[in-house]
């Protein structure tokens, strides 16, 4: 079984256990999903409506996580508004005890600070990690998990960063790339110099630890 932490497109493959991202305005048409307000898609006029939908969805057994949500300093939406929306969602994750799949661009300090201040008490997973060893260590030291996918396939330097992440703290994903999760696993196994079956066992264990299922 291949476990895919985060994808926007269901594969329909019975050998893949995947958490499919579903925004508040998207129908639930997949076995397992996550629900959240992405900073790119904050609609201030519909914020209360979207938060209500997310709260309803977080109570569904097949909603495995809140997300993706987070902070992005490279978009026009003011960071202050992004933080307000992010914090409201973290309080929902805390209430319903759901892990959080995080979108974070150039705002790692802010995400770490908010997590320390709100103490949601749930697993926090940075999806699509693409940064250096120093950023990875800082996140890991603060209890975050790291999920690798697109950039592991595109950036050869990331393999060394991924190879040093402790076994119990990483996931793999496809996000919106065309490549399959099996291709991501192959690259990840190569980066850690291990066979795919061992890698599958590690990620299966990590899924069961964080999502209490699988």
Pairwise CA distance, residues 64 & 19, whole Å:
7
pLDDT at 214 over 50: no
- Among residues of the chain, what percentage have pLDDT more than 90? 98
| Chain-centre distance for alpha carbon 105 | 13
Residue-wise pLDDT tens digits, 55-102: 999 999 999 999 999 999 999 999 999 999 999 999 999 999 999 999
Burial of 45 (0-12, 13-18, 19+ CB in 10 A): exposed
Higher pLDDT, 182 or 212: 182
Residue 68 is labelled as binding a ligand: yes
pLDDT of residue 212: 81
Consult the annotation and say whether 175 binds a ligand: yes
Report the alpha-carbon distance of residue 34 to residue 89 in Å, rounded. Answer: 12
CATH fold for the domain made of 2-211: TIM Barrel (3.20.20)
Region 2-7: what's the mean pLDDT?
98
Angle at 101 between CA 32 and CA 111, to 5 degrees: 165
Please check the confidence at residue 213 and state whether its pLDDT lies above 80.
no
**What is the model's pTM?**
0.96
Within 8 A by CB and 6+ apart from 191, the residues are 152, 159, 160, 162, 163
Chain-centroid distance, C-alpha 176: 13
What was the pLDDT predicted at 63? Answer: 97
Torsion sign across C-alpha atoms 155, 157, 163, 164: negative
Average pLDDT estimate for 49-60: 97
Say what the pLDDT of residue 112 is.
Answer: 98
Predicted local confidence at residue 184, as pLDDT: 97
The verdict on whether residue 41 carries a ligand-binding annotation is no
Say what the pLDDT of residue 73 is: 97
Average pLDDT, the chain: 96
How many C-beta neighbours within 10 Å does residue 10 have?
Answer: 16
Where are the chain's structural domains?
2-211
Order of strands across the sheet that contains 145-148? 2-7, 16-22, 33-35, 63-72, 100-105, 124-126, 145-148, 170-172
pLDDT in tens, 109-163: 999 999 999 999 999 999 999 999 999 999 999 999 999 999 999 999 999 999 9
For the stretch 16-27, pLDDT in tens is 999 999 999 999
50 is an annotated ligand-binding site residue: no
């Amino acid at each position: 079984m291949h476990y895919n932490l985060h994808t926007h497109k269901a594969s329909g493959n019975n050998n893949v256990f995947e958490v499919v991202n579903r925004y508040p305005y998207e129908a639930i048409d997949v076995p397992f999903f996550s629900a959240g307000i992405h900073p790119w898609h904050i609609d201030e006029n519909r914020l209360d409506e979207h938060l209500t939908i997310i709260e309803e969805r977080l109570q569904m057994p097949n909603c495995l996580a809140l997300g993706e949500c987070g902070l992005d300093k490279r978009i026009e939406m003011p960071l202050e508004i992004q933080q307000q929306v992010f914090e409201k969602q973290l309080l929902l994750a805390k209430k319903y005890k759901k892990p959080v799949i995080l979108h974070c661009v150039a705002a790692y300090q802010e995400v770490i600070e908010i997590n320390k201040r709100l103490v949601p008490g749930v697993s926090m997973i940075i999806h699509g990690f693409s940064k250096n060893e120093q950023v990875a260590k800082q996140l890991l030291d603060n209890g975050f998990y790291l999920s690798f996918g697109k950039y592991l396939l595109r950036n050869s330097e990331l393999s060394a960063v991924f190879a040093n992440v402790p076994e119990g703290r990483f996931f793999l994903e496809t996000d919106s790339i065309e490549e399959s999760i099996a291709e991501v696993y192959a690259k990840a196994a190569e980066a850690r110099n291990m066979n795919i079956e061992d890698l599958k066992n590690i990620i299966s264990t990590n899924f069961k630890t964080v999502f209490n299922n699988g």
